[in-house]
Amino acid sequence: MSKKLKRGQVVYIDNERYVVINMIEFCEDTWIWQEYEVVGPKKQHRWLTIEKDDNNNDEYWIYDMFRGSIRENGLEITVDNVKYKLYEKGTAMVKGYFGNADVDMHEKCDFIDYISEDEKRIISIEKWETEKEKSKGEFVDTSRIRITDEIDNSVSTVNVNKKSIVISLLFMIGLPIALIAIGVIADMRSNSMINYIENSSKYTYVTSVTNNSNNKKAKVYKSSLATLDATVKDIIDGVPEGITSTIDEDSTTEEDGIGLHTSNEFAYVYKENGEIYVQVSEKEYVSRSGTMYHSSHGRYYHSTYSSNNKSSIYSSYSASARQNSINSRKSSGGGTSSGK
């Protein structure tokens, strides 16, 4: 695996100082690489890619956004009077990230790389679900790059993730209040269907569906469980204190699906071609005419979201799971109070 950099780490390229601010780690089968967004001395934003070469040594490429036109014709392109040939193409998945990278875990993109005849320049095209990004890169010889142990604290401490929120709370509002706030954050995550599904081995990410009116996303997962019933109960068991209602539409077949609500999320569990799917999102996605992954379920998706027709079976199951969770938490001394 390539050398990994940290947020705020200082890198010199051609003796110019760059600071790492964001990172996306991609994988394609067994191939893993990192793309780091770095900021230079003139506040220019560039991308530094680190991957392994054929001799298992780290190889560096620096990329800039390319706004020119590219006529993709399969095997060869010409950009700025330089000829490039098809080098690699495939589908990459987001394996990890830090900072403010605009990606989701397990999100996928198709990529096409064209390399120049001297193999020192690359044109890269990434095709995400709702956009296409083009960049122009050049090979950086190891003599041109120096990775230091220096951390720029002005960057590393302004990191939008759970850890930095906790640290900021400790310093800003004091330990007792911060502990209560941290408990609230933890409670929000433990009551999140998206968080539970994303971290469960029972579900496989399929795709994301974007609402064009507000750019919100719904995530679609395939369940490994045998039935819709088992999947609904598993999600309830995963967030027992988060589920606020379970909805059906008096449908005669399980293909019409079951809706699950938390305070700010909606999940629709349904069957399509023998497979069980879960489409889950923030409620704002649905309330702004969000669409379904399988369009034939769109009517039930929206009617289930807005209906008050609670499922008698799953409402009872949810109430029992919630009570069991509360009893278990109380008996183990749980809760958000910091105590004395």
pLDDT digits (tens, 9 = 90+) for 108-157: 999 999 999 999 999 999 988 777 889 999 999 999 999 999 998 877 54
Q: What is the DSSP letter of 225?
A: S
Closest CA to 263 of 193, 176, 172: 193
Question: What pLDDT was estimated at residue 306?
Answer: 87
Closest CA to 296 of 271, 266, 274, 276: 271
Question: What pLDDT was estimated at residue 64?
Answer: 93
3-state secondary structure 23-89: EEEEEECCEEEEEEEEECCCCCEEEEEEEECCCCCEEEEEEEECCCCCCCCCCEEEECCEEEEEEEE
Whole-structure pTM value: 0.50
Range among 14-18, 93-97, 239-243, 285-289 rated most confident: 14-18
Q: To the nearest 5 percent, what fractions of the chain are helix, strand and coil?
A: 25, 40, 35
Q: How far apart are the C-alpha atoms of 250 and 297, rounded to whole Å?
A: 15
The answer to which of 56-65, 251-260, 304-313 has the lowest mean pLDDT is: 251-260
Question: What pLDDT was estimated at residue 181?
Answer: 46
Question: What pLDDT was estimated at residue 328?
Answer: 64
Q: Which residue did the predictor score with more confidence, 287 or 200?
A: 200
Closest CA to 134 of 73, 72, 195, 209: 72
The mean per-residue pLDDT over the stretch 299-315 comes to 86
In whole numbers, what is the pLDDT of the chain averaged over residues?
Answer: 82
Closest CA to 256 of 292, 207, 289, 287: 292
Structure tokens at 316: 């009872």
CA distances from 128 to 4, 104, 162, 209, 249 (A): 24, 11, 26, 12, 35
Q: How confident is the model at residue 309 (pLDDT cuts 50, 70, 90)?
A: confident
Q: How confident is the model at residue 266 (pLDDT cuts 50, 70, 90)?
A: very high
Question: What pLDDT was estimated at residue 279?
Answer: 95
Q: Judge contact between 326 and 318, C-beta under 8 A.
A: no
Question: What pLDDT was estimated at residue 255?
Answer: 56
- Using alpha carbons only, what angle is made at residue 41 by residues 40 and 44, rounded to the nearest 5 degrees? 45
pLDDT digits (tens, 9 = 90+) for 146-172: 999 999 887 754 444 444 444 444 445
Q: Judge contact between 257 and 338, C-beta under 8 A.
A: no
What amino acid occupies position 104? D
Q: Judge contact between 83 and 76, C-beta under 8 A.
A: yes
